[in-house]
Each structure stands twice: as C-alpha cells, then as structure tokens.
Chain A
C-alpha cells in the first residue's frame, strides 16, 4: 500500500507515472519499475520495449551491479524494508556522485516523515511515503534544517567552504 509521492523540491506528485511491477506480473504499457533480478534477466527486452524502465534495488543489491546499465534506466528506486535501513543513502550518494546518474532516484517502502530530510540530501528526488504519513508534515520536514555541515545533493560544498561567503 503506497501513500503520497513527494518531490524533494517540496511538492506532491499528483500523477505518478511509475508502476512497480511484481516479477511474475505482466508489464504495463507505460513506465515500469522492475526488480533487479527481472532487469538482469530481461534487460534487452525491457530496453527494446520502448517505454521508460526503472529498477528497484533492495538494500542488499549493490549499485555496482547496475552501474553499466544506468543509461537505460530512467529511475532507480531504493527500497527501505524499515525506517532504520541505512544502505540506500550510500546507494543514492554513489549513483549521483560516482556514476553521475541524473535520472530519478526514488525512495520506496518504509519511508517516514523523519527520514525525508536525509533522503533529500543524499540524492533522492522522489519519495513514495508510507501510506499513513501526514503529507503536510512530510513536506515541512524537507526543510527541517536550513544549515548543513556536509556537502549533499542540495549543496556541493561543505559549510567550511561556504562560511566566509555566507
């Protein structure tokens, strides 16, 4: 059961084009999010399909496995089995920083209000909230902190390189 889908720029996506497809389900005509296993098994067919395709990575799926495929992927969805899961943050950071990925990075699964600020800073741009999450509170939480010590997706330089100027 999924809830509101936010863009980290601070808005709710009213029409979400992406459909997450189970491994044994038929593919829709439009954009499809498939598992890493299905992607690797059906790579050529999925590319040939002519509609946007994205991959869902579980925390145990290394981004290195799909790094070479990134030009074909319009979305990488990183799955949170629980709100305390930390590996997707590193995955997002690597996708952006190491592999220069400019497509959509989406958080799915147990995505709660109190994670959204970290998610935004780590390079996620779309957050599919758990269904029970309060949307205005989640939007507000994107702006919890206005000062950041570390570099992040929203700010390439650490504070110590900006203090003098700001």
Chain B
C-alpha cells in the first residue's frame, strides 16, 4: 500500500495543527457556529443527534493492520468501542467529543491517516474496487490512480469551495464494483486500439433527491492526462455549477441542464486551453506510485494448496467458502469477506475488539493488509487456501463468518434515525427486522444475488435508488413509513429503481419484501436474478401482489 514520505506526513501533521487551532478558536468564541461549520465539515465532523460524528478517510478502502488497530484504539479511547464502515469505504465514529477531535486526528496522523475532505463542498475521499490488484477480471490496478488523485485533490487551492460535494471512483475491472456511474466522476480503466492505457470518463452520477446515472463524456482519456482533464471538469463545475440552491448544486444538475454533448464540449475546450502541462503524469511518477501497490510475496508453493477434505465437507465451512470467499488471480489464494451483516448487528458496524482481531488475522494470513468494501464489509484480500479453515474458525468464534455475503441480508444501510439528525427512519431497526425474518440461509442462497439498500432519508446515503430492492424511510406525521423501490443497480448495468407504490408502515417492511421475493420465485426463469426478472416483467406483478395482499390484510 502507499506509504507516506516526509512530504505526505508533513501535510497531515500540519492539518492536525490547523484543525486544532480552528477548534480552539471556535471554543473560544472567535469563530461563529456558522463559520466553523464548513471548516469542521471538510474535516468530516458533523453535529449529529447525540454528539458529533467524525468520518475518517480510508483512502480507496485500503488499511494496514496497524491502521486498523489505531481505528480500534480510537473507538475505545474517544468513542463507545465501535465504528461504522460506510459505502464510501470510510469509518464513522458516532460519539466523539468535539474538543477531543484534534487529538483523534493527531493519533490518526501517527499511522498515516486523516479525516481530510471526508465531508464538505470539496473533493471527497476517492473510492475504488475492494478487489483491486487481485481480481481475475481486472485490466489494471486502480489504486495507483486513486492515490494520485488523492494527493492532487488534497487541499486543492482552486477546488476547495465547490458548489457541492464531489465524489470520484476509479475501477480497473470489467465488472464495476465501485458504483462508478453514480459518482460525480467515475473513471473506468480501459485500453485503446493501440493497447495504451486510459480512462473512460463518466460524469454526473449521483443519488440524493435527484438521482441520476452518470454519462460518458470521453471514451478514452490517456492516463498521462488524468489530472489535467480532472482539472478541466472541476473548473467547469466550479465556475458554472449552481450555488443558489443546495439541491441543484451537484455536477449532475449542470450536466443535465447543458446536456451531455454541450457539457463534454465545454470540458474539452477548457482542457485544450490549459495553461500548463505540469500536471501531465510522467511515466516514472505513475511507476513510482504503482510500486507501492506491487503484489505481496505470494508463496509459489501455494498453487499446490488443497483444502483439508475433512474441513471441506463440513457444511458450515462449505457455505462460508462458497459465499464469503472469492477467486483470486494467483493460484492457491482466495479473497475473504468478513461479513458485518450478521443477525442483530447494525449493518457495517464493528467493535474495537473485532477490529483488533481482524488486524491480527490480517497480519497472520493476509500480508498485514485489509480492505473496506462498498458493501460495508471487510475483506482479507490475499489468503492462502490452506489457511482458510483456521481463519474461518477464528472468524466464526467471533460472529464474523456469517455466510451471507451477496445475499439479501448483506444489505447496505445508513446509520439512520438512531444517530443521524437528518434521518426519518430507524434503518438499524428495520435491518434487524429483515435479518430476523430472513435467517434461513438456504432460502437466501436460492434467491441468489440480491442487493438490498436502505436509506433513512432522501439524501440516500444507503443508496436505495440503486438497490435491486431499495427502501427509503419517509416521515408521515411523525411516524416512520417506508417507500419500496425495485429494479435499481449500481453495477455496469446501472439503473434507478422504480417506486413500487404507496409507502408501508414500519412493521410491514419485511413482510412486503417477503411478497416481492414470492413473486420473483414464481416468475423467474432459469438463471435470472431478482433484478433480471424485475426488468423483464416490469414492476406491475410485484405491485399487484404487494398491495392486493396488504389490502386483504387491512
């Protein structure tokens, strides 16, 4: 992974000093609440329902064991012993005291971490594919480009006061696992006819109140021009994005207002008029950064690894192996998901003790590194086949081997009403309802790949628009109701879900999902996922069943 040199270290150290001073001025009354707000936000600090919430950056989801131990220590020392991993591969703490946040940042800086630009109207933490560097379907490792973007975007003088937040994702695989098309900019590594490496550039995706799928503004951008082109897009946005209405300020609104072609032309014209090529990436800089992501020292003898037949035939192990481990491009290795979606667990949460355990396991079995996934799980990327049984035992003993990855109950969810001051809905409560109703793993496996995404409000942190099934919490006269959508996707075939019909009361959410699944099981054709059936038959059969039965029950 990327290791800071003294320059990088100095940036985060100076950031700690800056934020310490800003916090001091706020507490001393020299900065008003209104003036402090954008300063704390661009450091990931929100004022929430119970206490401040601090979002710490995990650049493109990559962590060392040492860093994870620090996250555990912070959870214990400054919070209530746990953290929440987010869809953008960050971690959030729900209970830090404002005056101690500078100390948290100082602790983070000792392990080359920070909370820079994890919120606010600036370029946010860059996200990527949790299978970067190991996936058989990968054209090139996206992480070096992510790191290059991270450095370029850190305290960018021109683009630190954008109209609104700005999210970038980079994928290097054929199968997009980064939700690139729902980012402000999604970059997909591609090769041109000459075999040169570059990027397909998507712009204008985003969820929230006006969800949109990004559009391609350039089919092939040479890799050397990554930053010069990003500067052109950002300048067009910074100068022209709406600043009069927070709900119309994202780049997606500008792109829609101008149309894709006019927007693309404006970017190309801006790019052509750049005053310097200093930001063109020399090959040796790309190589220098890429060297930080060189493959670990895989054991050549691993190719001969076989699972112990005694373990392999254990049905519990077999289920875990089938669901929670993935193929690796190196023979004899697997990637191992650690599910943070077991029954009773708030989706994406991990305790400090669990983080310590995972750090130990990463050191023992996966070259001392791990990843945070877009689906709010953890991943040990480089585990030898022969180590799987003992790893499984260690995880299972601590409720970290629940074999539901990729199934209905591996849901994406925001923290909801329990923590967030924006939420209308108790996402965690509903998650628990769904987890307990759908505990039968064989039923879940029979349903196949299913993405259930849940947001507590229309800001859509839980990505409900792009779930195969999406759940949105709405407030009806002080009561929690839930709107159900179906048919969304954030993968290569990205689409927005369609609203099923009137929202349903909280206690019926799991029941409604059960009916949707019943329709699917009746109508599906060979090999069809829930999403495929939805797309083929449309929303009506689902709607009819759900509401007919609800009326019958009423």
- Segment among A14-22, A48-56, A71-79, A148-156 that sits at the interface with chain B: A148-156
Contact present for A151 and B161 (CB under 8 Å): no
Contact, CB under 8 Å: B151 / A89: no
Q: Is A90 in the interface zone, CB < 8 Å from B?
A: yes
Number of interface residues of A (CB under 8 A): 39
Q: Contact at B30–A134, with CB atoms within 8 Å?
A: yes
Q: Does residue B160 face the partner (Cβ distance < 8 Å to A)?
A: yes
- Give every chain A residue within 8 A of B155 (Cβ-Cβ): 117-118, 145, 148-149
Contact of B11 among A85, A87, A122, A147 (CB under 8 A): A147
Q: Which of A24-32, A34-42, A157-165 contacts B (4 or more CB under 8 A)?
A: A157-165
Interface check A136, CB cutoff 8 A: no
Instruction: Flag whether B239 is at the interface (Cβ < 8 A).
Output: yes
In the assembled complex, which residues on chain A have CB atoms less than 8 Å from the CB atom of B25?
A: 137
B159 to chain A, nearest CB (A): 7
B14 and A163 contacting across the interface, CB-CB below 8 Å: no
Are B275 and A86 within 8 A (Cβ)? Answer: no
Q: Which residues of B contact A97 (CB under 8 A)?
A: 275-276
Report chain B residues within 8 Å CB of A86.
121, 159-163, 238, 243
User: Is there an interface contact between B279 and A144, defined as CB atoms closer than 8 Å?
Assistant: no
Contact A83-B276, Cβ < 8 Å, known A122-B157, A145-B155, A148-B155: no
Contact across chains for B243 and A90 when beta carbons are under 8 A apart: no
Rounded to whole angstroms, the CA-CA distance of A90 and B10 in the bound complex is 26
A158-B278 CB under 8 A given contacts A114-B39, A149-B154: yes
Chain A residues within 8 Å of B239, by CB: 62, 87, 90
A83 to B155: give the CA distance in the assembly, Å: 16
Tell me the nearest residue of chain B to A143, going by C-beta: B14
Q: Is A112 an interface residue (CB 8 A)?
A: yes
Give the distance to chain B from A12, nearest Cβ to Cβ, in Å. Answer: 19
* CB contact under 8 A between A118 and B160, given known A149-B154, A160-B151: yes
Cβ-defined contact, A151 with B158, below 8 A: no
Residue contact B157 to A157, C-beta cutoff 8 Å: no
With contact pairs A89-B238, A149-B154, A159-B7 given, residues A83 and B38 touching in the complex (Cβ less than 8 Å): yes
A145 to B156, CA, bound (A): 12
- A33 and B235 alpha carbons, distance in the complex (Å): 27
A6 and B129 CA atoms in complex are apart in Å by 46
> Once bound together, how far apart are the Cα atoms of A115 and B160, in whole Å?
10
- Contacts A98-B275, A144-B18, A145-B14 given: A89-B7 contact, CB under 8 Å? no
A152 near B157 (CB under 8 angstroms)?
yes
- Is B443 interfacial (CB 8 A cutoff)? no
Residue A93 at the B interface, CB < 8 A? yes
Give complex CA distance A146, B15 in Å: 11
In whole angstroms, how far apart are the Cα atoms of A89 and B121 in the complex? 14
> CB < 8 Å: which of B161, B235, B285 contacts A160?
B285
Interface residues in B259-308 (C-beta closer than 8 Å to A): 273, 275-276, 278-279, 281-282, 285, 288
B residues bordering A, Cβ < 8 Å?
5, 7-8, 10-11, 14-15, 18, 22, 25, 30, 35, 38-39, 121, 148, 151-152, 154-163, 227, 235, 238-239, 243, 273, 275-276, 278-279, 281-282, 285, 288
20 contacts between A and B (CB under 8 A): A83-B35, A85-B161, A86-B161, A87-B238, A87-B243, A89-B158, A89-B160, A89-B238, A93-B235, A97-B275, A114-B39, A117-B155, A149-B154, A150-B156, A150-B157, A151-B278, A156-B278, A160-B151, A160-B282, A161-B285
